[in-house]
Structure formats: C-alpha cells, structure tokens
Amino acid sequence: MRTQPPAPLYPIFISLTGIRCLLVGFGQVGQRKLSGLLACDPESVLVLDLAEPAAEEADDASRLLRDPRVRFERRACTKADLQCCALVFAATGSPAENSRIADLCAAAGILCNSASKPEEGCFQVPAVARSAPLAAALSTGGASPALARRWKGELERWLEPRSRMAALMGRLRPLVLALGEDTGQNTRLFRTLAESCLQKWLEENDQENCRRCLQAELPPALHAHIAELLNDLP
C-alpha cells in the first residue's frame, strides 16, 4: 500500500522585528541557530540549556550571549517558556527532549523547528545564499543538509553578479510608482528592463550602455534620476 507523499513546505521570508524567540539547546547547532537569528534582529531570544557551553566553544558562545537581545538560563524548557514566543527552536542533543518541545509547541499553536527530526516541527530552516539585496533559500526537504550547504555556495556565486541589477530595480521602483501611472504600464516597464541587456551591462560595469538603456526605456520625468540610479551600486 502506497502512502501519500508529505505536503510540500510553504516557503516564506519572515521579518523578526518585534519577534520573541526561544532556543532550547546551546551546543554547536544551537549556536549556529542563534547566530542566524541575531543577524535578522529579533526583539529577544531566550536561550535554555542544562549545561554551560563546552570549553572549546566558549569564546564563540560568550560573544553570542553578550548580545543584549539574548538571555541565557541554565535549565530545562517548560510550558511557561512558550508564552509570548512566536518561534521556537528545539536544538538539544536529545531527540526525546526535542520531540517533547515540538509537542508542546504543536499543542500551543507555536511554530517550532526540530533539529533532530525536522518532520516533528512545523518548519525547517533552509540554507540561505545572500548577496545583498538578494537572498535565495534552498531546502532539500531534510534529505541532505550536506548537499544544501554545497549548493548554497553555488547559489552565492550565481547571485553575486546579479546583485547590481536587483539594487538598481530597488531604487527605481519607488520612483516609478510615485509617478502615479497605471499598474499595467508600470509592469510593462519593469518587465522590459528585466528582459533587456541592462543586467549584462551592469555586470560588465558598462556605464554608458546602462545610461543609454535607462534613457531609452524610462519616462522622461525620471531621466534626471539616471545618474543616482547608477551611482555606487554593489
């Protein structure tokens, strides 16, 4: 008898501004989780562990715990700890404890990530490749974290030359919308630029062809902004 395949995971980029997080377990996995969380500026992170960080991890752990958004307590997780937390990470070295935490979260309707058995939590943390302002998330569905790590590096190399195009479009969008033209016209403009050679010329730092392209495609009201659009791109 064939079983139904699991439902696909819903991909989402979430802002952690104003969000309280709970991290249970502060070994190597927990420290990586905390580092990633702090980079996205949550309101606070409560870190719980029954033991102090291992001696060989003490320097990195201390640096993370000195962050004013972090509170460390040496104890087990209780149901009360879940109150006011929007995200919970079960990253202890005990699969049974991670399962217990995931069950508590499921009963309370709180999003939980389980490090030992991803399927026990309701979300997984993907590998993320970044080249500002671009970010690409990659998940193997828990099949192979090693492959996800390898492909993350490949994605970063793919994103890097495209970051200039994304930055320029990010600068251009509010200027175009401020003109008050209809949505269809704006969509055609953005798609025309996206399908043009502008990205190639930006990668080659060909300022003259970039300028000519923008002058040909942008409404006359935006021609005065072309120099600032092209200035100091990443």
Q: What is the pLDDT of residues 110-143, one digit of tens each?
A: 999 999 998 899 999 999 999 999 999 998 877 8
Both 142 and 116 in a single domain? no
Asked which of 110, 125, 140 is the last residue of a domain, the reply is: 125
Both 117 and 75 in a single domain? yes
Q: Is the pLDDT of residue 3 over 60?
A: no
Both 26 and 121 in a single domain? yes
Both 40 and 112 in a single domain? yes
**Which band of pLDDT confidence, cut at 50, 70 and 90, is reported for residue 152?**
very high
Q: Write down the pLDDT at residue 145.
A: 83
Residue 88 CB burial class (10 angstroms; 0-12, 13-18, ≥19):
buried
Asked if residue 209 belongs to a domain, the reply is yes
Asked if residue 2 belongs to a domain, the reply is no
Q: Is the pLDDT of residue 38 over 90?
A: yes
Q: What CATH code is carried by the domain that includes residue 65?
A: 3.40.50.720
**Which band of pLDDT confidence, cut at 50, 70 and 90, is reported for residue 4?**
low
Ranges 51-65, 81-95, 123-137, 189-203: which has the least confidence: 51-65
Q: Write down the pLDDT at residue 39.
A: 95
Both 30 and 116 in a single domain? yes
pTM: 0.83
Residue 198 CB burial class (10 angstroms; 0-12, 13-18, ≥19):
buried
Q: How far out from the chain centre does Cα 134 lie?
A: 10
